[in-house]
Structure formats: structure tokens, C-alpha cells
Amino acid sequence: MDIKALDQQYVAPTYARFDLCLVKGEGSHVWDDAGNEYIDLGTGIAVNTFGIADQQWIAAVSEQLGKIQHTSNLYYSEPCARLAEQLCLRTGMKKVFFSNSGAEANECAIKAARKYGENKWGEGHTTIITLKDSFHGRTLTTLAATGQEVFHKDFLPLTEGFVHAEANNLDDVKRLADEIPCCAVMFEVVQGEGGVRPLTKEFLQGLEAFARERELLLIADEVQTGNGRTGELYGYMNFSITPDIVSTAKGLGGGLPIGATMLGERVENILTAGMHGSTFGGNPIAAAGAVNILSRIDDELLAGVRERSEYLWNELSGADGIVSVSGLGLMLGIECEKDAGEVIAACRERGVLVIKAKNKVRLLPALNIPMDDWKKAIAVIKEVCKK
Ligand SMILES: *Cc1c(COP(=O)(O)O)cnc(C)c1O
């Protein structure tokens, strides 16, 4: 039986997969099981930060694999402590809780915010304002946080305690904060699954001022925007704001599952022994890989991200068949006159793998994609989008 048939028979049908089975890769190149080669602009949804089979990352992971693969959180372990140190030193955050995915990183952020609200104002003062068209994960609580009805239906009742404001509308946030006993506002600086839509600097800075005034926490969901993706180490750094909690995952592990919730000084000690935990959280192999990834997201790499981004904006803005370009750094959305699904299929036929976000073609290439590959891939997209 071939892989596709096997998968369709035995794997739960929750994914609309592309008709493609990937078997290996090198950097920004991947091969399918028929030997066809592609330039990969999806990186497993912003996960393979330095592409596939990156030698430095493999060395870091392999070295740890040969020492100890898992300890549980009953013991100290070096990679976890080193990674937490690096995250704090580079963000100014104070403490880190490790988990295994973006949804879990957000769950911890939500628990910390609720505890903060309860400590400060008493029981029930724990509602979190999130934004419409946001995406925060698939657990019942992070679904409740997600401001998109399509994800909610069929799974009611969801966790209580979330209200959704219009993105980029500070008055709407203020209105909700006046009506409901809130403890925090949670947002993605670029809404990824919501269609690669950046929030405005004006909104984010106004939000920060309002949150400070009301002593509400600012939670930045940097699961997708984090780890160099937007041209800064974390997306919020593009907007000169300081969140109280930053959650991240996807690109941090370079391909291994990891989630991290960074806690700033207002909440650094809010979760105490026994209040939260994760068996795999801070796993030595994932953490050793992440230490390597993080150490390489330096000024030079970030300048390269911005340069590649600029190249795309210059090439595609106003080009034939392109309605608009959106996003930040190497988290990019392209609205085409043609249907996004058609464009994606045509790109694939020409050896370029891209993905979708709402009605847009979404690009999330490796942060170090060679300029040659990037240029080639953009030329293909441009050609395909032409009317
Ligand atoms: C992908 C994503 C999540 C969920 O991450 P998982 O690892 O799939 O649980 C949460 N928030 C944002 C912004 C994301 O892009």
C-alpha cells in the first residue's frame, strides 16, 4: 500500500494534506518520494528556522542525544537552564516555563495571567481580551482565546473568560475593559493564521499605554512571529513595546517540538511549585537544539531577513496579478487576483512549495534561504500570478 493510502486509512482525517510525500531535504530544498525537487517556502509552518538537515543544529541535537535524552522536571538539566538564560538575556524577561507546543505555551500564559488577576483584584477578575481574527491554538482554552468563530463551532462549551476586540481598534479594547473584569490583553503582532495581518504601531503602543494605566498584562503570542521571523528576534521588538508575557514555539526548536512562555517582572514568580508542569517540557534534546538556533539569530541573520523581505516587496508590490503584499520580515502574505489554491498548485508544479493563510499565499521560508533560491522562487510566484 502506498503512503498516501496508508495515511488515509489510519491517520485521523483532520488535515487537508497536499498530495505530496516529502522524504528528505537540504537547506531550503526538499524532495518528494518520486524524486522531484522543490524550493521550500513553508518550513513546516515556520518551524525549520535554518532549513532542513542543518548541520550545526544536527550536531547540537546529536551531541545531546548521545548524553541523555530526557530527565523529567524532577531534576536539573543543563540545556533547559542554558536556553532559559539565553531567552531572558536577549529579551529582558525574567523567567521561562517550557512546554512542547504553541498551544501549551499559550495555556501557561493564560494561567499566569489569571493568577495575576486573581491576586490583584480577587476571584473572577480574570477575563482576557484577545483580538478578532487571532489564532492561539487548538486546545479548548486556546480555541476560546482564538477570535474566529469557525474554529469554535462543534466544540462548545469552550473555556470561559475570553472576549474578542477588533484588531487595531483601541476603543474597542477600552470598551471591553470597562465592561468586563479583565486581567490581560493577548495578541499576535502579525496575525498569522488570520491572514498575515500586522497590527499597527499606533495600536500596539496605545495598547501598551492603556495596559499600564489599568495594570492589565500584555501577552504577546510570538509562536509564529518569534525567533527572528519578522526581522527582529521577537516580533514585538519591531514596535518598541514591552510585553509582560511572551509565548513562543514553532521556530524556536528548529524542527523539534518545544514551547516557551517567558514571564516578565510583573509575573515572574506568579506560578509556584506544583501550579504548572509538563512531562516533556524543557526536554534536553529539544532545548539543546533551541540553544543552537537562538545563538545563530544574530544581527547579521536578522539583517538578512529584512533584506530578503525587502526584495520580495520590491518584486511583487504592484506586479501583474498581485493585489497586495502583507506581513513583516519573512512572514509574508500575497493576495493574488487568482485563487490562492490555484496559485499554490501552480507553484508546486514549478518546484516551489508555498502555503495558505485565509485567501492569501503565505511564505515562511528558512531565515537563511540562499538569495539565489529566494530570487528563483519569487520569479516563479510572479510568473504564476500573472493574468
Ligand atoms: C501555530 C500557532 C499556535 C499553535 O501552536 P501549536 O504548536 O500548533 O500548538 C498558536 N499561536 C500562534 C500565533 C500560532 O501561529
Q: Indicate which atom in ligand 1 lies nearest the CA of residue 225.
A: 13
User: Within the chain, where are the H helices?
Assistant: 3-10, 43-46, 55-65, 78-91, 102-121, 140-145, 149-152, 170-179, 201-214, 284-296, 299-316, 340-349, 371-385
- The 3-state DSSP composition of the chain as helix, strand, coil percent (nearest 5) reads 40, 20, 40
Separation of alpha carbons 220 and 242, rounded Å = 9
* CATH code 3.30.365.10 for 3-54+299-385: no
At residue 214, the pLDDT reads: 98
- In tens digits, the chain (387 residues) has pLDDT values of 699 999 999 999 999 999 999 999 999 999 999 999 999 999 999 999 999 999 999 999 999 999 999 999 999 999 999 999 999 999 999 999 999 999 999 999 999 999 999 999 999 999 999 999 999 999 999 999 999 999 999 999 999 999 999 999 999 999 999 999 999 999 999 999 999 999 999 999 999 999 999 999 999 999 999 999 999 999 999 999 999 999 999 999 999 999 999 999 999 999 999 999 999 999 999 999 999 999 999 999 999 999 999 999 999 999 999 999 999 999 999 999 999 999 999 999 999 999 999 999 999 999 999 999 999 999 999 999 999
Cβ of 91 below 6 Å from ligand 1: no
**Are 88 and 95 spatial neighbours (Cβ–Cβ below 8 Å)?**
yes
Look at ligand 1, atom 5, and give the residue with the nearest C-alpha.
102
Measured from the CB, is residue 137 less than 6 Å from ligand 1?
yes
Q: What is the DSSP letter of 192?
A: T
Give dist(CA 130, CA 185) in Å, integer. 6
Strand partners, 272: none
pLDDT at 361: 98
Instruction: Compute, in angstroms, the gap from residue 320 CA to the centroid of ligand 1.
Output: 33
Q: Could you identify the atom of ligand 1 that is nearest to the CA of residue 224?
A: 15
Asked if 188 and 221 count as a contact pair (C-beta separation under 8 A), the reply is yes
Boundaries of every domain in the chain: 3-54+299-385, 57-295
Q: Is the CB of 40 under 6 A from ligand 1?
A: no
Q: By C-alpha distance, which of 132, 238, 241, 222 is closest to 176? A: 132
pLDDT of residue 323: 98
pLDDT at 1: 66
DSSP codes, 88-143: HHHH---EEEEESSHHHHHHHHHHHHHHHHHHHH-TT--EEEEEBT----SSHHHH
Match domain 57-295 to its CATH number in 3.20.20.70, 3.40.50.620, 3.20.20.80, 3.40.640.10: 3.40.640.10
How many angstroms separate the alpha carbon of residue 219 from the centre of ligand 1?
14
pLDDT (0 to 100) of residue 197? 97
Return the C-alpha cell found at 376.
528563483
- 221 close to ligand 1 (CB < 6 Angstrom): yes
Could you tell me if the CB of 260 is within 6 A of ligand 1? Answer: no
Atom 11 (ligand 1) nearest CA: 136
Q: Which of 106, 191, 250 to mutate to test the pocket of ligand 1 (most atoms within 8 A of CB)?
A: 250
pLDDT at 295 (0 to 100): 98
